Structure 1
Amino acid sequence: MYYVHSQYPDVTLSRRVTELDIERRALWAGLICSLFGLVVGLIIFAGERPPLFGDLSVGIVSAVCGAVSAGASSAYAFRTMLRARETWLKRIPAWRQMVTALGLVLVHVASTIMIMLVVFHLLQQAFYGLHLDVLAGALAVSVSTGISAYLSLEATARINAESLSVVLGIFMCAGVLISMLLAEDQNWWRSMFSSLGTTQAGMGSFWTFNLTLVISGLVLAAFTEFLTRDLVRLAQTYRCRPALERYKIARMVRPRPKLVRWCLLLVSMGIIGIGLVPFDVAMEVHSAFVQMVSVAMIFLLLGTIVLLPGYPVVFHLLSYAAIGAIWGAFQLWNQWSYYNLTGFELSVVAIMFSWISVFIRTTSAMTQDRSEPRTTHSPSELEKAKKKPAAKGD
C-alpha cells in the first residue's frame, strides 16, 4: 500500500495547462496537419484521378496521413499537456509512462485508420464510380488529416479513467466487428471466437482481430494507471463504517488499490498474449493466456468486498451476480448445448465489460463526491449567513 501511495501523493490537477490552451494547441495541430495532408495529396495524386476508396485512393491516403497526424498529436498532448494536468503521471516509473503513452497513441492511430477506411468505403458506395481531380482529392485528404489531429490532441489532453474506458469499449467493439466483416470464412462462428484471429479466416480478419486485442491490452494497461490513481484517492479518505468498528476483522479490511491494479494488469497482459499468439499457432500458450484473464477477473469479482470496501452494497451484489451469470452461461453451453463455444465466449466478454463499465462509473462517482466540499447547512441558512453583517472586531 505504501508503494502505491508514494507514487500518487498529489491528487490535485495542475492549472498550468488551461482548457483554452488545449483548444488553441488543438487548432494549431489541426491547421499544421491539414497543410501536411494537402501537400501529400498534391504529390501523390499528381496526374491522377483518384477514387474515394481502393488502391491509391483518397481513403487510403487519408487513412495513412490521418494515422500519422493522430499519433503525433496524441504523443505531443501526452508529453506536454496530460502530464502537466495529471502530475501523478510524472511520478510513476518511466516504463509505465511509456506503456501508458503507447496505449493512448496506438488507440488513436488505429481508430483513425478504421474510421477513415469505413467512411470512405461507404462514400464510394454512395457515389459509385466517382473520381476526384488532383485538387479535390488533396483537399479531402487535408480535411481528414486536420480533423484527425485536432480530435486526437483534444481527446488525449483531457483523458481520464471514465473517458478512456469508453474509448476502449468502442475500439474493441469496432475492431471485432470489422474483423467479422472481413472474415473470408463465413462459418467462423461455428468453431470459436478466437478463430477470427487465424489465417484461415483471411488475412484481413487475422490482422484486424489480433491488432485490436494487442492495442486493447495496451489501452487497458493505460486505463489501469488512471483507475489506480482514483482508487488511491478513495483509499486515502476511507473510513470504516461506525456500525462495523466494533468488529476487529472489519477494521482490518482496507482498500487494496495495488491488488486491483495487478489483477487488471494480468487481464491486459493476457489480452495482449491472446492477440500475439493465435490458437492455431500455439494452442496451449493461447489457452494459458485465456486462463490468465479468466483467473484474474474471477479473483477480482470474488474479492471486491475485501479489495474495495466502502463501495455500495449493490455494487458488490452486482459483482457476485456477474459470477452467477458467467456460471449460467457456462451451463448453457456445456450442459444444455443452448449455443456453441462462440456464444459462450461472447456472453462472457459482454458480462465482463459490463461489470468493468459499472466499476469505472461507480469509482468516478465516488471520487467526485469525496473531492467536493460538503456542508451541513441548508442553502437558506447559507444565504442568511452571507447577508448577516460581520460582528465588530471580526
Structure 2
Amino acid sequence: MQKFEFEVPDDVARRLTNETVEVELQPDELVMRSQAATKLVPVIKIWWYLLPAVLLGSLIFAQQLATGVEQIPLLGRGNSIGNMVTVLGSLCSWVIFIGAFIAQKRHHQAGARQFTWRMFIPVAIAVGIVLMVTEFTIFWTIDQMFVGAQFDIYTSIILITVCFAIMNYMMINLGLTISPAIMINLMTIMMLGGVVLSMLTNGNRDWWRHNFSYLGTQRSGAAWQFNLTLILTGLLMMALTDYLFVNLRHRFPTKGVLLTRMLMYFEATCLMGVGLFPNNDRFHWLHDQIAMWLVYGLLLIIIVIRWSMPMLGHQFIHLSDAIGGVMAIEYIGFQYIHYLSLTAFELLSFGLALAWILVFFQNLESLIDPLPASFMTHLKPVPITEFNQTSNE
C-alpha cells in the first residue's frame, strides 16, 4: 500500500477530528468524507411508513363500509378524500415526525442534536401546521381542476393509503434530517403558503382594494388561516432566534450580539401580535400600532447591525442598507406623496422584510457552522520505511 501526506491550513486543522474518513476517487476529484457524515443519510425501513398507512387506511375502509358509503368525493364537507388526508393523514404523520425527532434527539444523532428541548414545541407545531396547510392547498388546487370529482370506495381507499404512506415517509425523513436550514425553509413556506392560501380562499376577490390586513379580519373568509400563519411564523422566528444566538454567543460574547437578539425577539413578538389582534373594529388601533412597531423595529435593526454585528460582513451590511432605503422610500411614497396604495405599501414591506429576515438567518447560520473549506495542496508520496519510522517514534 502506498502512503501519502498533504498539508492543510491551520484553521482547517483545528476543524479536523481524529477519526476514520472515507475517501472517494472520482474522475476529476478526490473526496474525503467523515464517517459521521455518512450516518446523516437516513435509512428508512419500508414498514416505518407503510404499516401505519395501511392500518389507518383499513380503519377508514371499515368505517366507510359500516356506514354504507359507495362514493367518496375528492373534496367537500364531511367525509372526502381531501379532508381525511388533510386531517387524519397529517395527524398520523405528525405523530411519526415527533417520534423520529425525539428518538434522534435522545440519542444525539443527526440534525436533531443541534436543537434544544425548549425548541421542540415550536418546531413540532410549525411542522404540523405546514403539513396541514400544504395538504389543504394541494387538494384545493386539484379540486379546482376536477370540480365535483368522486371515486368508488375501493379507489378512494387506495388513494388515501398512498397519500398516507407518502406523508409518513416525508415526515420520517424530515425528523431524521431536520436542521436550522430546513427550519428557515419551513418558516418561508409557512409565511408565503399561509398568505397565498388566505388570498385564494378569503372569498372576496376585491380584498386588495382594502388593505393587506383585511385578510385577517372577520369580513374575510380566511381570517383564521392568515392570523394563525402570522402567530406561528412569529413563534418559529423566536425559536430560530433563540437557537442561532445561543450558539453565536459562544463565539461572539458581545453586547451588540445581545442587543440584536433582543430586537429580533421584539420583531417576533410584534409579528405574533399582528395575528393575535386582527384589524377588526375592536383591535384596529392596537393592530396598527403593533404593525408600525414591526416596521420601526426592523429599520432599527438594519441601522444598528453595522455596529452590533460587524462580523456579518460588508456585503450583508450593504444589502441591509439597500432594503432599508427602499422601505424608507416606499413609506414616503405612501404617507406623503400618496403614490402607493395601502395594500401596495403593505405587500412591498412584507416582501422586503421577509427577504431580509431570511438572508439574516442564513448569515447567522454560516457564522455558527462555517462553510466547507477549500484549499490547494500537494499530495506527496511517503516511502514505507519513512512512514514506519515516523509511526514508531
TM-score by length of 1: 0.79
Q: 1:60 is matched by which residue type in structure 2?
A: N
Change beyond 3 A, Cα 1:184–1:212: same
- Hey, what does 1:30 align to over in structure 2? 49
> Which amino acid counterpart does residue 273 of structure 1 have in structure 2?
G
Aligned 8 A contact 1:277 1:286 in 2: yes
User: Displacement, 1:260?
Assistant: 2.8
Matches within 5 A, 1:6-25: 18-19=39-40, 22-24=42-44
Task: Give the structure, 1 or 2, with the largest relative contact order (CA under 8 Å, sep 6 or more).
Answer: 2
CA RMSD of aligned residues (A): 3.0
**Equivalent residue number for residue 74 of structure 1:** 97
Structure (1 or 2) with the larger CA radius of gyration: 2
For residues 151 and 76 of structure 1, the distance between their equivalents in structure 2, rounded to whole angstroms, comes to 13
Query: Could you tell me whether the CA contact under 8 Å between 1:33 and 1:142 is conserved in 2?
Result: no
Name structure 2 gaps, 5 residues minimum: 1-16, 18-35
Partner residue of 1:390? Answer: 386
Q: Is the 8 A contact 2:93 2:168 kept in 1?
A: yes
Q: Secondary structure at the match of 1:50?
A: strand
Is 1:260 the counterpart of 2:260? The answer is yes
User: Distance between the aligned counterparts of 2:139 and 2:333, measured in 1?
Assistant: 41
Contact 1:213–1:272 (CA<8 Å) still a contact in 2? yes
Kept in 1: contact 2:248–2:367 (CA 8 A):
no
Q: How does 1:362-377 map to 2 (within 5 A)?
A: 362-369=363-370
Q: TM-score, normalised by structure 2?
A: 0.79
Structure 1 position 206, deviation (Å): 0.9
Q: How far apart in 2 are the matches of 1:177 and 1:386?
A: 62
Counterpart amino acid of residue 183 in structure 2: L
Letter of the 2:44 counterpart: R
* 1:214 partner letter: I
1:155 paired with 2:174, answer yes
Distance 1:168 1:346 in 2: 18
What one-letter code is carried by the residue in structure 1 that aligns with 2:285? E
What are the equivalent positions in structure 2 for 1:167-186 lying under 5 Å apart? 167-186=186-205
C-alpha deviation, 1:363, in angstroms: 3.0
Length, aligned pairs only: 350
Cα deviation for residue 388 of structure 1 reads 8.7
In the TM superposition, residue 35 of structure 1 has moved relative to its aligned partner by 2.3
Partners of 1:274 and 1:151 lie apart in 2 by 32
Q: Map of 1:209-358 to 2, 5 A cutoff?
A: 209-232=226-249, 234-235=251-252, 254=254, 256-280=256-280, 281-358=282-359
**Following the alignment from structure 1 to structure 2, what is the Cα–Cα distance between the partners of residues 260 and 389?**
57
Deviation at 1:120, TM superposition (A): 2.6
Percent of paired sites with the same residue: 22
Amino acid at match of 2:181: E
Give the Cα–Cα distance (whole angstroms) in 1 for the partners of residues 255 and 383 of structure 2: 43
Once residues 335 and 362 of structure 1 are traced to their aligned partners in structure 2, the CA distance between those partners, rounded to angstroms, is: 35
Give the Å deviation of 1:373. 6.6
Higher strand share: 2
Cα shift at 1:107:
2.4
Contact 1:196 1:209 in 2 (8 A): yes
1:82–1:156 Cα contact (<8 Å) kept:
no
Cα 1:44–1:115 shift into 2, 3 Å: farther
Contact persistence 2:247–2:368 (CA under 8 A): yes
Query: Given the alignment of the two structures, is residue 189 of structure 1 paired with residue 208 of structure 2, yes or no?
Result: yes
Q: Which residue number corresponds to residue 32 of structure 2?
A: none
- Aligned pairs for 1:55-134 within 5 A: 55=77, 56-82=79-105, 84-85=108-109, 86-87=112-113, 89-90=115-116, 97=118, 100-134=119-153
Superposed displacement of residue 297, structure 1:
1.9
| Alpha-carbon shift at residue 270 of structure 1 (Å) | 1.5
- The CA deviation at 1:59 is 0.7
Aligned in 2, Cα 1:129/1:314: closer, same or farther, shift over 3 Å?
Answer: closer
Structure 2: how far apart are the matches of 1:37 and 1:152? 16
Distance 1:37 1:262, change over 3 A: farther
* CA deviations over 1:255-305 (Å, ceiling 9, x no partner): 744333322222222212211111213123223332342343223211212
Give 1:249's aligned residue: none
Task: Report the CA distance shift for 1:277/1:389 in structure 2 as closer, same or farther (over 3 A).
Answer: farther
Q: Which runs of 5+ in 1 are unaligned?
A: 1-11, 237-253
